[in-house]
Structure 1
Amino acid sequence: MMKSGDKVPEPIAAKHFSGKFMVRVPPDVHRQLAIEAAEAGVSLNRLASAKLSQ
């Protein structure tokens, strides 16, 4: 890439991540997750984080 004059991208592992991103889901999925979080006594954010980390 350098020989052709292209910029070499920064490796993803070296980038800084804020820990925030938005995910759009259908309203029925949002509703079901909110109900599940309420029943578990946790925030929707905590529930989603746990599901995504599995």
Structure 2
Amino acid sequence: MLEDGKEIPLPSDLQSYSGQFKLRIPKSLHRSLSIHAKEEGISMNQYCLYLLAKNDAEYKKERR
């Protein structure tokens, strides 16, 4: 980043994040996520975490 003249952000304070958030989604999406999680043999929470992490990694790649 320095070579590109970009500012390096300061590390964020992880203590200010609880690791939880509530998200309201359509019933149809809830059903779909539940079905896919069962097909994968994991909880819906684990499945959603996987999808969010995967998407976040792709987003980071695009921004480079």
Report the 3-state secondary structure (helix = DSSP H, G, I; strand = E; otherwise coil) of the residue aligned with 2:16: coil
The yes-or-no answer on 1:38 pairing with 2:38 is yes
Structure possessing the higher radius of gyration over alpha carbons: 1
User: Match of 1:29?
Assistant: 29
Aligned residues: 43
Cα RMSD (Å): 1.6
How far did residue 18 of structure 1 move? 1.3
Q: Which runs of 4+ in 1 moved over 6 A?
A: none
**Please, which runs of 5 or more residues in structure 2 have no aligned partner?**
1-9, 55-64
Gaps of 5+ in 1: 1-10
| Structure in which a larger fraction of residues adopt helix | 2
Provide, for residues 3-49 of structure 1, a one-character-per-residue CA deviation record: whole Å limited to 9, x for no partner: xxxxxxxx8x2252111001111000000000000111000000000
**Among the aligned pairs, what percent are the same residue?**
35
Q: Which has the higher contact order (CA 8 A, sep 6+)?
A: 1
